Structure 1
Amino acid sequence: MARVAAEDRRRLLVEAAIRVMVRDGVSRATTRAIVGEADMALAAFHYCFRSKAELLELVAEEILARTLSPALEIVTGEGSVEERVRSGVASYWSHVVEHPDEHRLTYEITQYVSRTDGLEELAARQYRGYVEAHLRLLEALTEQDGIELARPAEDVARYLAAVVDGITLLYLNEGDADAAAAALGVAVDHLLGLLGG
């Protein structure tokens, strides 16, 4: 492979890891398999990451970013609060339906690290990241539109993280995208009520 900057190499290895983990599972995603997928030497992995744990955390963060970034762009864009909230949620949901295996991977990572000695804290950090992502979306809405939430933002963010996570997991296991989207619509209605929308 041609010479690649360290940050680009990390990004390519994270992308390769996602592909390998989606295909083979977290427990079978060896460093050798990941560097092979990225067409890099094994030394590249050890140069870019302190451990497989660091890579797992970055994989979960990358999948979160794939849903958060477009939603944040929509929420801070044009339109009424209701339009932006509904469009932001629809953006997230489209990603779930179009890339279900990536979302299954996030749950697999949670279970894997929860059951691996020394990695348990990664699951807590993963879910703190979900709460923080919802908090960022709420803060973007409230700051842009001068809205005051009916409840503390941290509490609403935690509630939304739990509801969205639960509905996503329900869909991934049940397979009924329409039913899950309808349940997500109930959560959006509730959120709009908390926003005074």
Structure 2
Amino acid sequence: MWARTWEGLVPRISAAQRRSDFIKAAVEVIATHGIEGATTRRIAEQAQANLAMLHYCYDSKEDLFADVYDYVAGQYREVIIANDPHGDLTDTARRVLRGIMEFYLDSPNFAAAAMELVTWARRQHGSRGIAVYDQALDTLRATLRAARSDHPVEPETIEQIAYVIATLADGFAVNWYTYGDRAVAVEQMEVTVSVLDSWLAARLGTAPAAT
């Protein structure tokens, strides 16, 4: 489909594409201005669209934010799945942790927006903030359960590994967001993975992986 403008004919952007643009723009605006500063006008400007188009796609900012939460949860799911080596449990755990940290490193605004969204949601809409975290953990648990292991692994152990990965990744994200020093963050990634290696060795009785 095409639309006529003063300059001629230009491709018509579908409503679905516009909604995707607004969701990604909202993440950028939230990262910069926080939830309270994420006005519809700023989001429309970030998406390079007019305000009327945003209101055409979304009846309210709450409807837009609902899609933003789904997008954030989906991004975590994609990162975890993309970094699943389909190997043994130890390799899977460390690859997933590294993959999440690399994603944070390459997408600092996403990390900032995700932290802002989850903490704000816990204050305003408790279940929504929990849902984002729960969905990520569910994907992580499923990935760990599917990993190979020489011995049966208790569900409690899978739960603990998922918790350790999430805690280490969150700690890395906060530090990276606070200081913004990429060179230091890269070094800290190695330290963080080594912490997971040591914990896994103690918990599973395996040798720590070589860096």
TM-score (norm 1): 0.73
Shift of 1:67: 4.9
The match for 1:62 is 71
Moved more, 88-97 or 182-191: 182-191
Quick one: percent identity of the two aligned structures?
21
2:175 pairs with 1:166: no
CA distance 1:23–1:3, shift in 2 (3 Å): same
Matched, 1:40 2:62: no
Amino acid corresponding to residue 33 of structure 2 in structure 1: D
SS in 2 for 1:104: helix
Residue 127 of structure 1 aligns with an amino acid whose one-letter code is Y
Q: Which residue of 1 aligns with 2:131?
A: 125
1:183 and 2:192 correspond: yes
> In 2 relative to 1, CA 149–169 (structure 1 residues): closer, same or farther, beyond 3 Å?
farther
Residue of structure 1 in register with 2:4 after alignment: none
Residue from 75, 88, 91 that aligns with 2:99: 91
- Aligned in 2, Cα 1:84/1:161: closer, same or farther, shift over 3 Å? closer
| Closer/same/farther in 2, CA of residues 150 and 196 from structure 1, 3 Å limit | farther
Contact map agreement 1:67 1:95 (CA 8 A) in 2: no
Q: Distance in 2 between matches of 1:68 and 1:157?
A: 14
Letter in 2 for 1:32: R
Q: 2:34 aligns with which of 18, 25, 47?
A: 25
RMSD between aligned residues = 3.3
CA distance in 2, matches of 1:40, 1:8: 12
Q: Is the 8 A contact 2:94 2:196 kept in 1?
A: no
User: Counterpart in 2 of 1:135?
Assistant: 141
Letter of the aligned partner of 1:30 in structure 2?
Answer: T
| Structure 1 position 14, deviation (Å) | 0.8
Report the 3-state secondary structure (helix = DSSP H, G, I; strand = E; otherwise coil) of the residue aligned with 1:149.
Answer: coil
Q: Tell me if 1:52 matches 2:87.
A: no
1:148 counterpart = 2:163: no
CA distance in 1, matches of 2:166, 2:105: 18
Note the residue ranges of structure 1 that are not aligned, 5 or more in a row. Answer: none
Contact 2:122 2:129 in 1 (8 A): yes
Structure 1 residue 89 displacement after superposition: 2.5
Cα 1:170–1:181 shift into 2, 3 Å: farther
Q: Alpha-carbon deviation of 1:182?
A: 0.9
The higher radius of gyration belongs to: 2
Q: Report if the CA contact (8 A) 1:31-1:42 is conserved.
A: yes
CA distance in 2, matches of 1:46, 1:136: 38
**Ranges in structure 2 where 5+ consecutive residues have no aligned partner:** 1-9, 207-211
Q: Structure 1 stretches (4+) deviating beyond 6 angstroms?
A: none
